[in-house]
Structure 1
Amino acid sequence: MSGQGTEPEAMKIVLVGHMGAGKTTAVKALGGVDVDELIESREQRTVAEIFAADGEGAFRDLEERVTLELLADPSVQAVALGGGALASRRTRAALTAARVVWLDVDADEAWRRVARSPTRPLARDERRFRALHAERQEQYAQAADAIVPASHVRRLAAPIAALEGMPAGAKLIWAVTASADYPAYIGAGLITDRRFWPATIAGRRVLVSDRNAASHYGALFEPVLTAVRIAPGEQSKTLTQAEVIWREMARTGVTRTDVTVALGGGVVGDLAGFCAATYQRGMPVVQVPTTLVAQVDSAYGGKTGVDIPEGKNYVGSFHQPAAVIADTTTLGTLPPAELAAGYAEVVKTGLIAGGWLWRRIAAGAAPDDPDVIAGCALTKLRIVAQDELDTGVRQLLNVGHTVAHAVETVTGYARYRHGEAVALGLLAELRLAGADALRQQVLELLEQAGLPVTLAADVDVEQVLLATTRDKKRVGEGPVPFALCIEPGRALTGQPVAPAELRAAIMELVG
């Protein structure tokens, strides 16, 4: 992690990532040194030849010595490490004086790039290659100050510039979509201790928040051109409230060059984002999520909108934020029930991700663990990068949500918090997936967090069933497709569900 007391622009950039991430290409563009290339030059042998003649252990010792030398050399401004270099404790310790950038590449793309390369001794067996990729994910995630998709190896200037002023201990995830890229900052004290604001974002600020968030943190964003406070809760996410915000913007002379600051939870983020997307046909919005559900999910990806009586989020648009600033310290002011509600989204995201993130969650990680929050955000942003407009793989993020949204609609958005409804939806949809053992594990996690695992007896199950048929994922006259999690890390979209099976899964919730 990055050290304190040194300006980011003066710090050495260290590139990490799996084989095939493009570290060599990236470090050359930065005018730096690739550790493997330097070793081969000095040894007059390829890495594969060193492996073959001396063994992997000898290579790792050599790799560690050269890496430490380069990290200590002030004349070297950028270094690309080998894929397994972070296994060295001494190397990890030496990274404290650098900005570590993880070039994130998925296993399929990495294998396509390096498959059976004669110069890469660990890229000859696909099964072993994929196992190494999975094993190293947590190491990369923990070491990284910035996480940048490998597709950006030739475009690192913007992500590196976005590190300017970022406090030590925080993480930057560079979000990439077809319409816009933006930085997502996650860490303790970003606004509460440092009043951090991205150096790249200018313009007068328009603050939209709920009364709770505004009372705690609103003053941290002054001066503002105007501020609008809404009542907490889903009931505020309406076209009527949107009109109040639009007209206040017009009254105070807000222009499209100004920036909306969405301070609060998912309701504020959705509503303020929608107003920013539509006011004068679009103005920037910076999402500043202060609830767990927003920090792990709703603040990222650009979905904005409001509810109407016929359905949740029926009116909205895609509008990517200019930045996200998720200060995990703000979670300390949440009521326990609100923190628990956000935990349902943590569980959902862990199920989709699998791997180290799910293992950490299943082992009982605290809901507000910054590493888990960052892991959830990374999981979502990886998916959104592939499918910004929610026509395919992004529907993975709807695991548990088809039933959840139906429950919210039927109960008027007042009976259950969103996360509480998601908890119920996860249990119903894991039953539909036939993942019975996993359902039991999830039920225990949800119960321990204080979330509801049974549906109130007075909720009309038939109305919930009807509401699922109006889910906005439905296309034409066909049935509503479900996203179902078969096992951690393996979820499927577009899954048909028989009405009788859905009824049984929801009835089971009633007990």
Structure 2
Amino acid sequence: MTRKFVLIGFMGAGKSTAARALGPGGADVDHVIEERAGESVRDIFARAGEAHFRALEEQTTLELLADPSVRAVALGGGALGSPAIRAAIAAHTVVWIDIDVDSAWHRVTHSHHPHRRPLASDPERFRALYAERHDGYWELADVIVPANRAREIAQVLTCLDGLPDRPGLRTLWAASASGDYPVHIGPGLLCEAGFWPAAVTGRRVIVSDYNAFRHHGAHLSPAFADVRIMPGEQSKTIAHAEIVWTEMARHGVTRSDVVAALGGGVVGDLAGFCAATYQRGVPVVQVPTTLVAQVDSAYGGKTGVDLPEAKNYVGAYHQPAAVIVDPLTLTTLPEAEVAAGYAEVVKTALIAGGGLWERVAAGAEPTDPAVIAGCALTKLRIVASDERDGGPRQLLNLGHTVGHALETVTGYARYRHGEAVGLGLLAALRLSGQDALREQVADLLAARGLPTHAGPGLELEPIIFATAKDKKRTGEGPVPFVLLRTPGEAIYGQHVTPAALRAAVKELIA
């Protein structure tokens, strides 16, 4: 049987558009039903009821999946309610055209044929239906593509060329104003399959730390050159950037080559910054090998180094050419390093809410590929709407204002980044007035061995002073905070009183 592309997603996502964009052999189930019945989907609903339509939908879908002349099948928004359809599409490549609920409502109510959608008449029911179906799309998707890339779906899906057929593999398409790229997530993708994206050409220059290179450097062969740094935040400096630039120059690296950033968040930030600035920019492929990097820092194009005065003060936006995520690399990490990454998992789940928060709150393993992919999707959605931190991307800084301040006042030596973020989350939840949620998060962090108090020897005033140097601060005003109303409803640009901030930080260092 020929493997087809099966396009799934909510109403208005652009599945029909994507099917047409894939060229001859694309079929839309709703359109086929209407052609055969000689009436609209809405009329079928009105005349015979939803149960009759679902039976027609199932029959038509199974026929199209069995038809060798059909290359791509666009399913109706509710088709996955059929067990027979879910079983049939397992043999094919399932592509979720992902759209947010507000955009979906706008599209279906402003389309040329709004009358075709019988389940899009009531906005509250529409939102409830979106929430009801969302996790079903997530569970079945092999590839996730933003709705605003539906017309370019043929070009997007070329990123699957050369990708090994491995269980649990997902590809997320990252879209941003300055560049798109694929994110491939799957156990064994690097360690066992040695995968490298076919579209990324040029000689590979590995930038790594000694630990990551020792474990995984051979998986990126053949490499033209490699540059290694010492592990730890202390290596994320201008001095170390100069070491990397110099070594690249000595090896004769050119703009036609590509940097492979192999390691955790420090390596990803430093190597990405060097790639962004060396000869005014060379491509970089992020190959994250720590949990912090796999769930957060490898995506979105933020690169940079620290100054003694503040974290991440020198940097550039430089979107990667691709991201390769192999959760098996996490098996080589010390337990404390995985625990530190867990704080970023909790942070992202709080921002996402919904199914991701429910899984994390229930104790899901942070190294579960589905959890990693859920965190990645959350970040990619936010970055797609705001690449350069002008608005919604600031949500990703939940817990980071106080967390970064703690790192700064301790010289980046006392805490792992995730440990500081965990403490910052507790402060942010206290500032949000979410006392019960703060206790729940504290229990989650403690269960993974993360600190819930900052420990002895810290003074209040230097931490408060360091929060004022946060990068989100503009002009002469106070630093804005990201606060949380409830899981899934974070708000950015919030000002807190000096007294409230002092109380929240004092609680951490008491």
Give TM-score scaled by structure 2 length: 0.97
2-structure distance, mates of 1:197, 1:222: 10
**Structure 1 position 384 matched with structure 2 position 383:** yes
Does the 8 A contact of 2:6 with 2:74 survive in 1? yes
Alignment match, 2:11: 19
Structure 1: any 5+ residue segments left out of the alignment?
1-5
CA drift at 1:157: 2.0
Deviations 1:444-501 (A, max 9, x none): 1111111111111211221111100111111011100011111111011110011110
TM-superposed deviation, 1:50: 1.8
**1:329-369, Cα deviation, whole Å (9 max, x unpaired):** 11111111111111110110111111111111111111111
Trace 1:186-335 onto structure 2 (pairs within 5 A): 186-335=185-334
Q: Using the alignment, how far apart are the partners of 1:83 and 1:402 within structure 2?
A: 40
Deviations 1:258-292 (A, max 9, x none): 00000000000000000000000000000000111
2-structure distance, mates of 1:134, 1:245: 47
Partners of 1:190 and 1:41 lie apart in 2 by: 43
SS in structure 1 at match of 2:304: strand
Q: CA deviation at 1:13?
A: 1.0
Structure 1 CA distance, aligned partners of 2:133 and 2:440? 26
- Cα deviation, 1:289-328, whole Å, max 9, x if unaligned, reads 0111100100000000001100000110000000000111
Give 1:46's match in structure 2, choosing from 40, 43, 53. Answer: 40
- Range 228-237 or range 279-288, more displaced: 228-237
Cα offset, 1:68, TM superposition? 1.3
Whether the 8 Å contact between 1:174 and 1:184 is mirrored in structure 2 is yes
Residue type of the alignment partner of 2:432 = A
Is contact 2:286-2:322 (8 Å) kept? yes
Tell whether the 8 Å contact from 1:115 to 1:126 is kept in structure 2 after alignment: no
Q: Which residue of 2 aligns with 1:122?
A: 119
Distance across 2 between alignment mates of 1:135 and 1:447: 32
Residue 21 of structure 2 contacts residue 152 of structure 2 at CA under 8 Å; is this kept in 1? Answer: no
Give the stretch that moved more between structures: 116-125 or 254-263.
Answer: 116-125
Cα distance in 2 between the residues matched to 1:193 and 1:60:
42
What is the rounded CA distance, in whole Å, between the counterparts of 2:87 and 2:334 in structure 1? 37
Q: Which runs of 4+ in 1 moved over 4 A?
A: none
- Unaligned 5+ runs, structure 2: none
Alignment of structure 1 residues 64-463 onto 2, 5 Å:
64-115=58-109, 117-167=114-164, 168=166, 169-463=168-462
Alpha-carbon separation, structure 2, partners of 1:475 and 1:405:
17
Alignment partners' CA distance in 2, 1:162 and 1:11: 16
**Structure 1 residue matching 2:16: 3-state secondary structure:** helix
1:35 is matched with which residue?
A: 29
Q: Alpha-carbon deviations, 1:23-67, whole Å to 9, x = none?
A: 112112223110011111112222112222222222222211211
Q: Which digits, 9 at most, give the CA deviation of each residue in 1:226-270, with x for residues without a partner?
A: 111111110110111111110111111000110000000000000
Count, aligned residues: 503
In the alignment, residue 99 of structure 1 is paired with which amino acid?
A: T
Q: Do 1:430 and 1:486's aligned partners in 2 also have CA atoms closer than 8 Å?
A: no
1:101: Cα distance to partner?
1.0
Q: CA deviation at 1:153?
A: 1.3
The question of whether the paired residues in 2 share the 8 Å contact of 1:311 and 1:471 is answered with yes
Give, in angstroms, the shift of residue 119 of structure 1. 1.5
Tell me the percent identity.
Answer: 65
